[in-house]
A = this chain, B = another copy of it.
Amino acid sequence: MTQHETSTAAIDPGTWHEGRVGLWLIGARGSIGTVVSVGLHAMLAELAPPTGCTTASEAFAGVPLPAFADLVVGGHDVSTTPLRQRAHELVESGMLAHRFVATADDALARTDAEIRPGYDPTTHLGSQADAVRRMAADITAFREGHGLTHVVVIDISSTEPILEDHVEFHDADLLTAALEDPDRALLPPSSIAALAAIESDSAYACFTPSAGLGLPTLRALATERGIPYAGQDGKTGETLLRTALAPMFMARSMRVLSWAGTNILGGGDGATLADPEAVRSKLATKTRGLVSLVGDHVVAPLHIDNVPDLGDVKTAWDHIHAEGFLSSRITTQTIWSAYDSMLAAPLILDIARLLALAAADGQRGVVPEFGFFFKDPWGSDVHDFSQQTVALRDWAHATGARVHAAAQTAVTPA
């Protein structure tokens, strides 16, 4: 038995009493969205265990979470390529094994039928407020059509360029006026999607480095409206490794002098990040955690290169130079290589299950303990991955105990 399993021994197994949960994906037809849909099918068909799903580990035993079978997937996307076709493309590229896709056609078609057109600023007619209302209506219809207790909106769409600040981002009235003006397109698509989540009373998570719910006015609105939310920018590969490794150097009082990194990848993500503006927002969130962990003296050049022939495999090389006793040189190099979308997909399922739990507990506003999942945690300065692991587990068990107790009370006759 591994060590973390022992910590759950004292907790009674819990059961989810809250009915079905909607998982509404912004960018549902992208690589991550496709893997989420194929993966849910594969797990329900017992073709695959929930490897890679944090919430399926022993450490979460006893926490009342929706089962995978309780999840219903829908979403927005500007793409119209069917999930089935996307899935077969991912088989061709070597990302997905054929056996998981072979029997998934019907399941993917059902999910496809729940995907509505995303907000596309280049074709949208009317004000941005109209777009928000239309998208919120899509989500509400999804909720009602399936009789869902909770809906969790998760943004997994492509990285947007860094947003320049505007006065409207700090003043709710100005923002409202701007949104209603059909001649303005102030907010990026990710923030339109975040507003639709708020409008439809859904929980929300931002898995990208885009603005999303990150603007002050929007975050205030989300808290006021009472949705639980979390962000930002999924921590899947190189940054995960860095935040697991950096505390080791600090615990031993070594001085990390430099941490240089290079990422190479192709696929859709590579193409997006070939845009120098888009990559800037990614680089910013990637470096922030490192500086917080080892100090702002660290020299940390970082590159993301689009290398199309590599396809969806992302390879990251890091070179760490630390100073030890008597100025001794310690060098550590890491090479990480994996399909990024395959790392992200199970975390989407984890976030959906845990945000549903937060909603069941009536939590409002940002949930800092979700920092475990993110490069740039909202509501928290903690980047140390082991601290985040403990914090998330503790939060899940405490929240679960409350939800469990409430369910017990509810079913107890007078």
Contact = CB atoms under 8 A, between A and B. Distances in A.
A317 B262 contact: yes
Interface residues of A, number: 87
A335 B332 contact: yes
B253 A260 contact: no
Contacts of A383: 3
Contact of A384 (B3, B59, B100, B253): B3
Interface stretch (A203-211, A214-222, A239-247, A352-360): A239-247
Interface string A88-106: 0001001111101000000
A110 to B, nearest CB: 19
Interface string A276-310: 00000000000000001111000101010111111
Interface string A248-261: 10111111011010
Interface string A151-182: 00000000000000000000000000000000
Contacts of A303: 262, 301, 303
Interface stretch (A21-29, A121-129, A339-347, A404-412): A339-347
Nearest to A386: B386
A8 interface: no
Contacts of A255: 51
Given A2-B295, A333-B334, A253 B386 contact: no
Given A293-B2, A345-B325, A253 B334 contact: no
Contact of A310 (B2, B4, B321, B385): B321
Contacts of A247: 3-4, 244, 386, 389
A83 B306 CA distance: 39
A272 interface: no
Interface stretch (A35-43, A139-147, A362-370): A35-43
10 tightest A-B CB contacts, nearest first: A386-B386, A52-B325, A328-B342, A257-B309, A244-B248, A301-B305, A330-B338, A333-B335, A52-B324, A262-B262
Interface of A: 2-4, 35, 38-39, 42, 48, 50-54, 56-57, 59, 91, 94-98, 100, 240-241, 244-245, 247-248, 250-255, 257-258, 260, 262, 264, 292-295, 299, 301, 303, 305-310, 315, 317, 319, 321, 323-339, 342-343, 345-346, 372, 381-387, 389
29 contacts: A3-B292, A3-B293, A3-B382, A3-B383, A4-B251, A35-B325, A39-B325, A48-B325, A50-B253, A51-B254, A53-B253, A57-B251, A94-B97, A97-B326, A240-B252, A241-B245, A247-B386, A247-B389, A248-B385, A251-B372, A253-B346, A260-B305, A264-B319, A299-B308, A301-B306, A324-B342, A324-B343, A328-B342, A332-B336
